[in-house]
Amino acid sequence: MAGYSCLVTGAGGFLGKKIIHLLLQEKEVKEIRALYRVFTPENKQKLSELQMETKVTVCEGDVRDSQFLRRACQGVSVVIHTASVIDVVGAVPRQTILDTNVKGTEHLLHACIQASVPVFIYTSSTAVAGPNSYKEIIQDAHEGQNHESTWSDPYPYSKKLAEKAVLKANGSMLRNGGTLHTCALRLPFIYGEGSQLMSRVFNSALQNNGILKTMGKFSLASTVYVDNAAWAHILATRALKDPKNAENIRGKFYYITDDTPPQSYDSFYYAISNEWGFCVDSSPSIPLFLLYSLAFLMEMVSFLLKPVYNYQPPFNRFVLTITQSVFTVSCKKAQQDLGYKPLFSWEEARQKTAQWIGSLVQQYRGTLKSKTQ
């Protein structure tokens, strides 16, 4: 497989872009196919600028299009599948999420079999494992434990089904008589410079005198810096390509985190932004059981109004649970089987992220200044 080609889905996304940059440093990679539904002109320009010794090919299309996927997979040796719809508030129709996250993954697996692609890495989520209740305390969850999400909400449900399809496909016979080898990487909340979610959080706080809205005062959660999450995909690719190591990881999933200390989401956001004057909302919090009851009522109202009006509650029980629970994971198994070691320490990741947050602050101040002139 010397001089192999790699297809990365979700290539225009937060994680996908980082994976492509790391793949460019892999000497054995001769071509990277960057697959994304719709690239912006800026993204296309940046991809074209990456053309060096490694060829970068733009593949613009939808993972729900099986014919497109078959063409994209021709001549490819590795698929890294990061593409998915991430929505936990009901902004995207349920069927769209299921079609993209589940059927899209199944279409891609079938395309790999038809095109004889031997290696498939799937970007999964810790949401497939839980938490199922804010009253439940799970610390250092590992692969040997039977943690599984019971939520019917489309995002965790679709990721769980997609991961199962990927792991079940391991060992499938390829069209050329070879064998498909798969694994899945379960990622917690991914942070770092360029995160659209974090951009919204901090821009909202800037409009609120620097006060960060409560994200989870009672939580204890694992997180992972985006470069470290991308690096885990590179190591998984190397391991599945290596006959000596592949046997240990075929058909398995791995939790991926890093040196970022488990902490509440409020503490985390404060730690990466306090040098820019951001602070956590100190107003009294509504008891969790009341918020949970309110979330249930709003979900019922949304369900009853659905035939005539698409009401999106500001929060729901799933969001409350994942942001208010004690749920941490261990990456010891990934260290053992994949040789995983984070590229960046917590302090390095914090500094890089804080520097980016500073650019958001400067941009916001510049916008205000231009409006007053």
- Using CA atoms, how far apart are residues 33 and 58, in angstroms rounded to an integer? 6
The predicted pLDDT at position 366 comes to 86
pLDDT in tens, the chain (373 residues): 458 999 999 999 999 999 999 999 998 999 999 999 887 777 777 777 776 778 899 999 999 999 999 999 999 999 999 999 999 988 899 999 999 999 999 999 999 999 999 999 999 999 999 999 989 999 999 999 999 999 999 999 999 999 999 999 999 999 999 999 999 999 999 999 999 999 999 999 999 999 998 767 789 999 999 999 999 999 999 999 988 877 889 999 999 999 999 999 999 999 999 999 999 988 878 888 899 999 999 999 998 998 888 888 988 999 999 999 999 999 999 999 999 999 999 999 999 999 999 999 999 988 887 777 6
Phi-psi region of 29 (alpha: psi -120 to 50; beta: other; left: phi over 0): beta
- The Cα-based distances of 338 to 6, 143, 205, 232, 244 in angstroms read 19, 14, 39, 8, 12
- Quote the pLDDT of residue 230: 98
The whole-number pLDDT of residue 373 equals 65
DSSP state, 132?
Answer: -
Distance, in Å, from the CA atom of 320 to the CA atom of 36, rounded to the nearest integer, reads 31
pLDDT of residue 47: 76
Number of Cβ within a 10 Å radius of residue 284: 6
Q: What is the pLDDT of residue 344?
A: 98
Number of neighbours of residue 129 by Cβ within 10 angstroms: 24
Q: Which is catalytic among the residues 159, 160, 241, 333?
A: 159
Query: What is the token pair recorded at 337?
Result: 């089987």
Known catalytic residue: 333? no
Instruction: For residue 310, give the amino acid letter.
Output: N
Mention the CATH class of domain 4-196+224-261+329-344. Answer: alpha beta
Task: Point out which residues pair with 53 in neighbouring strands.
Answer: none
Tokens 């090919």 found at: 57
For residue 277, CA distances in Å to 120, 124, 192, 197 come to: 44, 35, 19, 19
- The structure tokens listed for 209 are 């005198």
Q: Pick from 80, 110, 129: which is nearest to 240 by CA?
A: 80
pLDDT of amino acid 1:
44
Contact indicator for 272, 372 with CB cutoff of 8 Å: no
